[in-house]
Each structure stands twice: as C-alpha cells, then as structure tokens.
A and B are shown apart, each in its own frame.
Chain A
Amino acid sequence: MAQLIQGNTGQWEIVIGMEVHAQVTCNSKLFSGASTAFGAEPNTQVSLVDAAMPGMLPVLNEYVVEQAIRTGLGLNSQINNMSVFERKNYFYPDLPQGYQISQFQHPIVGTGTIEIDLPDGTLKEIGITRLHLEQDAGKSMHDQHPSKSFVDLNRSGCALMEIVSEPDIRGPEEAAAYLSKLRMILRYLGTCDGNMDEGSMRADVNISMRRPGEPYGIRAEIKNVNSVKAVQQAIEYEAQRQIEILEDGGEVVQETRLWDPAKGVTRSMRSKEEAHDYRYFPDPDLLPLHVSNDQIENIRKTLPELPDQKKHRFMNDYSLSLYDASVLIAERKRADFFEAVANDNDAKLAANWVINELLGILNKNDKSLEDSPISAEQLAGLIKLISDDTISGKIAKDVFAIMYETGDDADKIVEEKGLKQVTDTGAIEAIVDTIIAANPDNVAKYQGGKDKLFGFFVGQVMKETQGKANPAVVNKLLKEKLG
C-alpha cells in the first residue's frame, strides 16, 4: 500500500522511520532504587544518584535488563550477548548529570521485524533496527512563572527502551499501524504500559520525501508526537511542507522539528542543532553488560502468546475473519474474554456478540471491558440459549439489554419474562391460520405475485407471539399455507 502523493511536478513517496521511547514497566529506576510510580509529588522519587550528586554510582537494575530482552524477543530480534552503556553528553536543566547514560555502539537488542495490519486488510513487515536501554530525563515546566522554569526530577533515571525502526514505513496509516502494533506487543509482554497520555510511550518520526524508486532524500526528525493521531497529523503536515520546498527547487534541512498539536504544524528547533555533537564514550562507572544464551532462553520460555500468533490462531482455529481476529487481539484481556465466551460455543457467534454487541455498548457508554456488567460466562450462557433454539437472535438482543442493566444471567431473565421461543408447531400453526383468515386482501395480493407481503405475514405472527415464535418454523408454515 505504498501511498504516493501527487505534487505539482509529479508523484512523491513518503519515507518514514520511527524512534519510540517506551518506559520500562518496573518498580525502581534503571540505575537507582528510587520509585518509578507516576504522579508523585515533585522530587520525592529522586535518589542522590538521580540528582547526580558527586560520587554517586549507578547500579544496573537486573529486571530492566530482563524486560529489554523480553521485548527484543517479542520483536523477533537478535539479542546481543554483550552491550555497553555510554554517556551521551548535552546540557539541559532537567539532565542533572550533564549526560544521559544510553547505549550507542553496542545496544542490547539488534535487528528484527514486526508485522503490521493495514486498513485494506493486508499485512506488511517493518524492520526493527535496534532496541537500546537509556535513562529518561527529568521534567521541566515552563508555564508556571514568567522568567523561570520549574524542574521535577522524578522521571530522571527511569528506564527507557528506545526502539528504532528501519525506514520501511510509507505513509501516515502505516505509521499509525506500526505504533499501534508496537504498543500492543509491549502491553502483551508487560514490558511497557503503553500509556501515551502519561508519556510512557513517546514517538519521534523521521520523514523524508523521494520520487518513487529514487534514493532516500534528506530527512527531518519530528519530536513531541505523543498519540497515534498526532503521528498521522504530523506526517501529513510535514510531507506537504517538504514537497513544497522540493518543488520550489529548495532543499530540506536536516534538523529536529517540534510538532505543535495546538497549531497543527511542525517548527524548527534550531537551538538543538549544535547539541547534536553528543561526544559518546563508554561510561567508566559501568562495565559491559553480558547476558548468556541460557538467560535469553529462560526468558523466551516466559513469553506469552503474542498478538500476531494469537491473530493467526483465531483465524485458523475459530475460522474468524482477519478483521474480527484483529479486533479481538487488540487487547490481551479482550482476547481472553472472547476465548472464555467461545469455549464450548459457536465461535463466530461468540465473536459477533463480543465485538458488535458487548464492545459496542461498552464503547457507547465509555466503559472498558473490565467494567463490563456482563461476564464472559454470562455472555456464553446467552449464546448457548441462541444456539439451542431456546430464544431467537432478536429476543437475545432484548435479553442482552436487560443483562447489561441488571447483571442477571440470561436463563433467569428468559425464565422470569417467559421469553422462551415457541417451537411447538401446533401452537404456531393455529396463530398462522388466524392471521391468514384475518387478512384475506393481503393473501390475495400475495398469491397474485406481491412476494414482498411475505414479510408482513411473518411480522404479524411474530407480533402475536411477542417475538417468541421460532422464525424457521413460522417461515415454513407460512410458505406451506400461502402456497
């Protein structure tokens, strides 16, 4: 789905690579024992290591290393037995050390690939260049005082995984699909909560334009793109900006630009340019990190079934469509819920009820699956009643609405309200006869060729039985009697 953009002088292709910073799910920081919990009072989760007091030494968090390896395995990537922490030097008030401890030449994770699902129902592979571990910086607030900035170091030293993609992404939809899939994988693995609102996942987007088939153009790096929607908007804006420059005979400047969500534009951050000389060198406080193949294999054993594996299994084992499978695997809890409903039930019916009815009404009420008043077992109970012809699909929707309101079981509601389907042919036949006798005009018209009137008779019988007559029996009897 290589999306081309028509300019004034011909077609352009957008080339995108992404760098995603994902905060590692763990209790304490990368190199200190201070807490990583979100939303604490300023500077209360700062150790003297994080505040870069002289003489303080970093000690690596072993669980973070495990999480990085787990993530690398989930991204089908090479895990490096040896990686090195280096210092990336720059000055900023929220970086008390004057350098960020990161990995440069020897990252913990090397190349891999992930599969993305595109809106047109096709799949595409995106290459992963690397994943490395690094420290987060603190947070500056610039809007509290006319001439001062406020600094909170709670986030300083939190562990980040920087995940770098190959320039394989070709447009805003692919970028959105990549970010969504990456987030999904991290959430399945439990290595990052993927909460973009709280800054647990942040994306930088590298964009350049080229004529189809030609070498890559000069790229700009867009920072501060912090939602899937912002990624799409920033790419659309930046692509147009670059095309205008190129078509006017100009050159794109290789630079860092900031996405301004309020104005919907990217703007240059020239102040950053000189700082790009980071003078990396191995951190003398930290030895190289060695991980053995045994360690890696032990972590591999703890991997859950990943989204794409689950997707293909749902399609194969339950005969679901790619669309249904993709919707169900989007969240691990959703997939588990579906499987609990589908257990011993018609899987396609279960998928329909979970996606169209339950997720539909939850979405409408702005609730998540965890808040669902209907449990998986209860929904399975309702579907059983449909499958064994106790109630019709139409009545089931009414029962479902009552279940959602009251939290009661389906069979209790069906019993109490007397909603059981009438399958007794004799009883239905009597009603059919009454209806036919009461509508001689319509009978004549139907027999005269107005086929559409069949629906009228079905409706009348259903009305008479309050929707409880088995539709198949009604159809069969009416066909026989009307001839």
Chain B
Amino acid sequence: MSMDINTVHKVARLAALDIDDAGAEKIAPQLSNILGFIEQLSEVNTEGVEPLANVVDIELALRKDEITDGDCREKVLANAPEETQGFFVVPKVVEQES
C-alpha cells in the first residue's frame, strides 16, 4: 500500500504534527515502505486462529479499591508550563460556534 500526500497530511493532523508539503513528500514513500513491510504479515493464513493479546500466559493484574495515591499536586504540576491556584494554565480552548 502506498501513502499519498493527502493521507500523510491527514495522519499528521490527527497526531497534531505540523508538517509542510515538502516534509509530507519526503515522508510519504518512507511510510509506504513501512506499510509494505508490515503487509507481508497478511500472507500468513490466520483463519480460525484466536488473536493473541500477549505472548506470556498471564492474567490481567487487578488492584483493590483503596486510596493509595494522589495528594501530590506539586509533583503533578512540576512540569506545567504555567500554573495558578493549583490549576494547569493553557491557551484558551473553547468549542467554536459555527
């Protein structure tokens, strides 16, 4: 499968990546190569084979419903570019009215 430049732009937008046409032109054949490589897997006949979630035969770990964490606001906010009164502060994001 080959990636065209429009698909590259769409994927970039969904991943919140800023990419110009030159960048997209460059990356399109690279992504196509990767996809082609992965597509080889479809040559294997998997009919009737259950999807494998994990190669190790273990069950999902569960925890008790107990409060064991939190109350560490300083750590949580330590990397915030901006904070005030205990809140993260970000550029305004509101749903646009049409």
Contacts and interface: CB of A to CB of B under 8 A. Distances in A.
B59 interface: yes
A250 B67 CA distance: 54
A290 B61 contact: no
A51 B78 CA distance: 11
Interface string A73-99: 000000000001000010111000000
B71 A149 contact: no
B54 A148 contact: no
Interface in A45-65: 45-51, 59-65
Contacts of B48: none
B87 A42 contact: yes
Question: Secondary structure at chain A's binding surface: helix, strand, loop or mixed?
Answer: loop
B89 A145 contact: yes
A43 B96 contact: no
Interface string B83-98: 0111111111111111
A43 B77 contact: yes
B70 A61 contact: no
Contacts of B67: 27-28, 33-35
A417 interface: no
A281 to B, nearest CB: 12
Contact of B89 (A44, A46, A150, A274): A150
A49 B92 contact: no
A373 interface: no
**Contact size range, B:** 35 or more
Given A287-B60, A290-B60, A44 B86 contact: yes
A269 interface: yes
Interface string A312-326: 000000000000000
Question: Secondary structure at chain B's binding surface: helix, strand, loop or mixed?
Answer: loop
Which of A46, A258, A267 counts the most chain B CB atoms within 10 A? A46
A116 B76 CA distance: 45
Given A46-B76, A48-B72, A33 B95 contact: no
B53 A61 contact: no
A274 B14 CA distance: 8
B85 to A, nearest CB: 7
Contacts of A84: 53
A364 interface: no
Which of B60, B71, B88, B95 counts the most chain A CB atoms within 10 A? B88
B58 interface: yes
Contacts of B66: 27-28, 33
Interface string A14-42: 00000000000011100011110000011
A374 B82 CA distance: 55
B13 interface: yes
A447 interface: no
Nearest to A31: B63
Contacts of B86: 41-44, 152
A267 B70 contact: no
B76 A43 contact: yes
A364 B4 CA distance: 68
A61 B65 contact: yes
Interface in A136-177: 140-142, 144-153
A256 to B, nearest CB: 9
A60 B64 CA distance: 9
